[in-house]
Amino acid sequence: MSLKQLQRARALDLPSRAAMLYREPSVQQFWNKNRELLSHAWKEWEGDEKGNLIPLDSSLLNKDLNNAVMLAWEHPEKELGVQELWQEVAPDVFQCQFFDPDRLADLRGYLDHVWDAQIPLRPPYGIVLNRGGAMLDRRSEGYLAAPSFQAFYGELLNTYMRPIARLLFPETMGYDTQTLGFSIHYQPSTDASIQLHTDASAVTLNINLNLPGEEFTGSSVDFFDPTTNKMNGLNFKPGIAMIHRGRVAHAAQPITSGQRTNLIFWLYGDRGQLPPQSAARVAIDAKKRWTLPTVALDDYAPF
């Protein structure tokens, strides 16, 4: 295949920022019309850039986490080693070193190549509309369809996030068959905060990609504690992940200096089903936790 598809994708006229913010019908039409073109363009781009792209694999993850997860997949009865790495930093909000800080420059370098590809990417509606905001899951129109990224994205969700979520929040098992992912990028001159909200997910994983020394101020994530009616403000550090139930109310405070880049992954059930609010923690055999869903993937996306 020639570069014709890539050139055509780069020549597309994106919908305006205002049109995307208001989700005008023409925006959906643009992405649907060009879905196949953009998918081919990302494949061509990856072939063209192959020598400039680092391999996306488990070496990017924190070694302690990766080793514990690999051991649990082989011996589920040893999953406690995974749980011990996650610290509860607010009620039902857990934190862990997910990516190796020394490898974040490699991962960010890959993403910089993505942003420089000049292939249209659909940003998360109503969250961020700038360089660094993109949809990552094939369910979403205008998603990052580079094959190597999609393989890595699937590994992060299937090998790591889902069993960890089942371990920490066992009642969400069965409501974790489907996925969504997006990236966000905060800087003071653009969308800088998100008001108090809940997610349309059973479980949310939020991973910071700032490099060591890449400081920012503000932009804390505040989690609401219903027992005290107070907010718990938490700050990200390079490679740190926070995981919580989607129904936990939270907000992102305005960023006042620097920049913050994060990957956000959601798990939910078929056609967007979520656990009932009253769902209680249930005992699950460890062997069942460390398995992949057998149901078919659907095409439902919450936004």
Q: What is the CATH number of the domain that holds 254?
A: 2.60.120.620
Question: Residue 21 and residue 124: Cα distance in Å, rounded?
Answer: 9
Q: Is residue 34 a part of any domain in this protein?
A: no
**Overall number of domains in the chain:** 1
Query: Looking at residue 153, what DSSP letter applies?
Result: H
Q: Is residue 1 a part of any domain in this protein?
A: no
* Burial label, 36 (beta-carbon count in 10 A; 0-12, 13-18, 19+): exposed
Show the tokens assigned to 90. Answer: 């607010």
Q: Is residue 206 a part of any domain in this protein?
A: yes
Tell me the residue range of the domain where 178 lies.
56-289
Query: For residue 191, is pLDDT > 60?
Result: no
Q: Is residue 130 a part of any domain in this protein?
A: yes
Q: Is residue 267 a part of any domain in this protein?
A: yes
Region 202-213 average pLDDT: 97
Region 219-232 average pLDDT: 90
Quickly state the pLDDT bin for 268 (edges 50, 70, 90): very high
Q: Tell me how crowded residue 71 is: count the other CB atoms within 10 A of its CB.
A: 14
Q: Which helix (H) or strand (E) holds 110?
A: helix 104-115
Q: What is the pLDDT of residue 283?
A: 82
Q: Is residue 90 a part of any domain in this protein?
A: yes
Instruction: Dump pLDDT digits (tens) for 2-53.
Output: 568 999 999 999 888 788 878 889 999 999 999 999 999 999 999 999 899 9
Q: What is the pLDDT of residue 38?
A: 97
Query: Looking at residue 201, what DSSP letter applies?
Result: S
Q: Is residue 12 a part of any domain in this protein?
A: no
Q: Is residue 47 a part of any domain in this protein?
A: no
Q: What is the pLDDT of residue 1?
A: 45
